[in-house]
Amino acid sequence: CHPCVAMRVPVGPLSLLLALSLLSPWGSAAGSCPPRCVCASNLLSCSQANLSAVPVPLPRFTAVLDLSHNNVTRLRADWAPARLPHLHALLLSHNGLAFVSTEAFTHVPRLRHLDLSSNRLRTLDENLFSDLGELEVLLLYNNEISTVDRTAFENLGRLRKLYLGQNRIARFPLELLREGSRLPQLALLDLSANRLRAVPAGELQALPAWLRDRLYLHNNPLACDCPLFQLLDRGRRRHLSAVEDFQDELRCFLPGATALVKILELAGRQPLNCSKAREAVLEAHLGDSVTLGCDSRWQGVRSRHWVTPGGERVLGDGGNGSVVLLANGSLQLRALRPEDAGTYSCWVAGPLLNETVYVELLVHNFTLHGPHDTLNTAYTTLVGCILSVVLVLIYLYLTPCRCCCCRGGEKLPAPRDDSINSSVLSTTPNHAGGTGEPCASHIAPGAGTGQNGRFKGGGTPSLPARQAPKVQRKVSDPDSVSSVFSDTPIVV
């Protein structure tokens, strides 16, 4: 019995060591820890190991791989010959890395953290990171990047933080932010210490405040202009960290100047003389429906309420449904009235502190599509003047002729007794023109006329014979002239 007991004593520890070796990740069944590396559980640290290439083979269960501070200058497509389904963090900083293959991340699709900072990368090629659909943090700062392809960040639907500071970027495709579908979850973008000379301030202002709160533009040689000042001035009023924490580093060049000036000191400064910008102003017309957005710098906050200019707190539907609090925190106003104008306040309960967002609503006292409301006083006056001029011209030049001229050669003149009823104030002699028949009122008097060429009341004159145009009596002949105001005969 004693020999059996003696033999059992060493068997227990040997069995335990054998079981631990089988269960350990670095056991012979799963692969050994690479030389010059430190292995702990699923962590593999090869930092400062003077490596010129990624050690192979890598254990399949590796979750964190630290290769920083080495001499890995090229990351080829075959650096990971086998799939590493558990790898979620890859650290390659301080390696002098100058080349990364577009297929380098094919075997690490679960990567969430990628550190390529402090290297010698110069370009971000097309679809460079398109295989990293679960990537959340990408560090590319302190490189030599000057060219960024707009498709380099394709398919990065979960990317939250992108660090591109301390590079040589002169233009970044900011349309990636404007569209909202390329990088939908991006909450931090660091473009500081680059070579940006201009940024689309209007488009950046349209971005949500939670993204503008983490949009770093300091230490860039920006050109001074008022839209840029107003963008940053609004950020300072809202206490956005990207502006408030780097006020001294936000500088720009004035036209014709060589020294940089602080952007936030441009208010009233020559030659730009920029004015202070209001936080948010919305214009509308009577009867319109508008939506006031609560542009908070806290993302995903659900606890918020609105206060109207009259001090009324809006928690749900307002009076007769004219004020509605939407599910996304926006306030909708329907059928606007003049009294709806004013400053609305949105109270937001953030994770660290509360925030108040102010929106000023201007309601114009006319409808946008009314038939006459859009005509202002100046326009109405101009139209009235034009119509008056037209009417005067019509009166002066387009009034009908007072004498009925004979239209055809065969038309007989009107009876002479018709002229008895003519006005004594009618104009005296008209100038004959053309070669047609003379007017009936200007025919020389014949039979039936009395003294001074007047008609006799009861006589009917005989029709004069037709004469050739060359023997027609001119209206300027003395026999055809008579006075209509005096009975004194005219002596010829």
- From residue 457, give the alpha-carbon distance in Å to each of 343, 448, 453, 486: 90, 9, 12, 18
* pLDDT value at 176 more than 50: yes
The per-residue pLDDT for 402 is: 56
pLDDT of 2 over the 70 cut: no
Whether 95 and 142 have beta carbons less than 8 Å apart is answered as: no
Q: Is the pLDDT of residue 49 over 90?
A: yes
Rounded Cα distance, 97 and 71, in Å: 8
Q: Note the pLDDT tens digit of each residue in 363-410.
A: 887 765 554 444 455 667 788 888 888 888 888 877 665 555 545 444
Q: Report, as an integer, the average pLDDT of 167-190.
A: 85
In a domain, 350, yes or no: yes
Q: How confident is the model at residue 50 (pLDDT cuts 50, 70, 90)?
A: very high
The whole model's pTM is what?
A: 0.63
User: First and final CA of the chain: distance in angstroms?
Assistant: 182
Decide which of 78 and 174 is more confident. Answer: 78
Which two tokens mark 264? 């936030």
Query: Which pair of structure tokens corresponds to residue 84?
Result: 């590493």
pLDDT of residue 170: 94
Evaluate whether residue 355 is within a structural domain. yes
Q: How far is CA 90 from CA 66, 70, 187, 300, in A?
A: 6, 14, 21, 29
Question: Who has greater pLDDT, 179 or 429?
Answer: 179
* E strand or H helix that includes residue 216: strand 215-216
Residues in the chain: 492
The closest of 206, 170, 213, 160 to 191, measured between CA atoms, is: 170
Burial class (CB in 10 A: 0-12, 13-18, 19+), 486: exposed
pLDDT at 312: 82
Q: What is the pLDDT of residues 93-121, one digit of tens each?
A: 999 999 999 999 999 999 999 999 999 99
pLDDT of 291 higher than 60: yes
pLDDT tens, position by position, 442-476: 444 444 444 444 444 444 444 444 444 444 444 44
Query: What is the residue-wise DSSP string for 115-160?
Result: E--SS---EE-TTTTTT-TT--EEE--SS---EE-TTTTTT-TT--
Contact 100, 143 (CB under 8 A): no
441 touches 417 (CB < 8 A): no
User: Is residue 291 in some structural domain?
Assistant: yes
Please tell me the distance from the alpha carbon of residue 456 to that of residue 233, in angstroms, as a whole number.
99
Q: How confident is the model at residue 344 (pLDDT cuts 50, 70, 90)?
A: confident
Q: What is the mean pLDDT of residues 181-185?
A: 82
Q: Give me the residues paired with residue 113 across strands.
A: 89, 137
353, part of any domain:
yes
Quick check: 186 and 160 in contact, CB under 8 A?
Answer: yes
Residue 328: domain span: 281-364
323 found inside a domain: yes
Other C-beta atoms closer than 10 Å to the C-beta of 356 total 12
β-strands 313-314, 304-307 pairing: antiparallel
Q: Quickly list DSSP for 189-211.
A: EE--SS------HHHHHTS-HHH
Query: 404: exposed, middle or buried (C-beta count within 10 Å: 0-12, 13-18, 19+)?
Result: exposed
φ and ψ at residue 284, rounded to 5 degrees: -150, 175
Q: Is residue 288 part of a domain?
A: yes
Cβ(320)–Cβ(288) below 8 Å = no
Task: Kindly tell me if the per-residue pLDDT of 64 is higher than 80.
Answer: yes
| CATH number of the CATH domain containing 302 | 2.60.40.10
pLDDT score at 24: 45
Q: Is 70 left (phi over 0), alpha (psi -120 to 50) or beta?
A: beta
Does the pLDDT at position 179 exceed 90?
Answer: no
The whole-number pLDDT of residue 92 equals: 97
Q: How many domains are there within the chain?
A: 1
351, part of any domain? yes
Kindly give the residue spans of alpha helices, DSSP state H, lying in 154-309.
Answer: 175-179, 201-205, 209-212, 226-237, 241-244
Segment 48-74 mean pLDDT: 93
Rounded to whole angstroms, how far apart are CA atoms 142 and 168? 9
Which of 226-230, 401-405, 486-490 shows the lowest mean pLDDT across its residues?
486-490
- How confident is the model at residue 54, as a pLDDT? 93
Are β-strands 331-333 and 290-292 bridged in parallel, bridged antiparallel, or unpaired?
antiparallel
Query: At which residue do the structure tokens 């090229």 appear?
Result: 74
Provide the pLDDT for residue 18. 32
User: If you average pLDDT over residues 286-305, what whole number do you get?
Assistant: 80
Give the rounded percent of residues in the chain with a pLDDT score beyond 70: 69
Q: What is residue 368's predicted lDDT score, i.e. its pLDDT?
A: 58
Q: Which helix (H) or strand (E) holds 114?
A: strand 113-115
Q: 82 in a domain, yes or no?
A: no
DSSP 291-303: EE----SSTT---
Encode pLDDT of 8-35 as tens digits: 334 343 343 333 333 444 444 345 788 8
Question: Tell me, what's the pLDDT at 103?
Answer: 92
Task: Report the percentage of the chain scoring pLDDT > 90.
Answer: 31
470-484 b/e (C-beta count within 10 Å ≥ 16 → b): eebeebeeeebeeee
Structural contact between residues 440 and 485, judged by C-beta atoms closer than 8 angstroms: no
Q: Please, what sign has the CA dihedral across residues 220, 199, 172, 258? A: negative
Summarize pLDDT for 206-221 with one digit per residue, the tens: 888 888 899 999 999 9
Cα 187 from chain centroid (whole Å): 21
| Whether residue 332 has pLDDT greater than 50 | yes
